[in-house]
Structure 1
Amino acid sequence: MTIVTAPLAGRAIGLPAVPDPVFAGAMVGPGTAIDPVREPGEAVSPVDGVVVSLHPHAFVVVDSDGHGVLTHLGIDTVQLNGEGFELLVNKGDTVTRGQAVVRWDPSAVEEAGKSPICPVVALEATADSLSDLREDGDVKTGDTLFGWQ
């Protein structure tokens, strides 16, 4: 069982509430989303593993069970071309749960006209392989979002 924890603080809202049809329809995979607190901070790794994909606006960490977890910082933030995001690790790095991966400012994302909502997705998973899915309530960085069989 992989435990996936919150990469940042905010309010859990669930994927159906994400203002993007691909995430809202769980086409990328099942999971949840966080409406982040509006202050500069760091998005941290939600699992122990290896950074297999790294962009200013999104990263994927694969754990020892082969589970890949996508953290997407905001919606349509790829259009910001990295502005307002600072990478703190490199692709291929081994990271631990809670280790800072990207520094960003959700308020700046919102001011640029993008949604700061952050999907946290279990890649190549099925909805029934997830348990204890958090889809509401306040979450602190490191709180459990879901378990993954």
Structure 2
Amino acid sequence: MTTVLAPVAGHVVGLAAVPDPVFAGGLVGPGTAIDPAREAAEALAPIGGRVLKLHPHAYVIAGEDGRAVLVHLGIDTVLLKGEGFRLLTGEGERVRAGEPVVAWDPAAVAAGGMSPVCPVVALDALPGTLTAILAAGPVRAGEELFRWR
């Protein structure tokens, strides 16, 4: 069982609320999404493991068991080309669950006309393997978001 933590504080809205058809349709994988608090913050590692991919706007952490979780900081934020994001670790580095990975400002993303909603996706997860998914409501960074069995 892998416990996946909320990488950011905010309000859980679910993948269907993500303003991107690929995430909303679950095509990337199952999970949920968080509408983040509109304040500068550090996005955390949702699980412990190795930073498999690291972009300013998104990252993938792979656990020792091979399970990988994608955190996407906002929608279409790749267009910002890293502006407003600061990497706090490096690709290939090991991180503990809850450790800061990227500093960013969701309010600046929203002010730029983009959605700051953050999908948190269990990559390659089989249907029905996510449990205890926090479907809606407030969440603090580092709190349990869902379990992957």
TM range (shorter): over 0.9
State the TM-score, normalizing by the size of structure 2. 0.99
Distance 1:121 1:7 in 2: 11
Matched to 2:93, the amino acid is: D
What is aligned with 1:128? 128
Which runs of structure 1 show a deviation greater than 6 angstroms over 4 or more consecutive aligned residues? none
Measured after TM superposition, the shift of residue 135 of structure 1 is: 1.6
Matched to 2:138, the amino acid is: D
SS of residue paired to 1:16: helix
Unaligned runs of 5+ in 2: none
Matched to 2:22, the amino acid is: V
Write the deviation string for residues 82-122 of structure 1: whole angstroms up to 9, x where unpaired: 00000010000000011110000000001111000000000
What is aligned with 2:64? 64
Measured after TM superposition, the shift of residue 143 of structure 1 is: 1.0
SS of residue paired to 1:128: coil
SS of residue paired to 1:135: coil
Measured after TM superposition, the shift of residue 134 of structure 1 is: 1.0
Measured after TM superposition, the shift of residue 20 of structure 1 is: 0.4
Moved more, 49-58 or 124-133: 124-133
Distance 2:135 2:22 in 1: 17
Distance 1:26 1:127 in 2: 11
Q: 1:1-149 counterparts in 2 under 5 A? A: 1-149=1-149
Distance 1:37 1:109 in 2: 12
Distance 2:55 2:148 in 1: 24
SS of residue paired to 1:79: helix
Write the deviation string for residues 22-79 of structure 1: whole angstroms up to 9, x where unpaired: 0000000000000000000100101010000000000000011111000000000000
Distance 2:69 2:135 in 1: 17
SS of residue paired to 2:27: coil
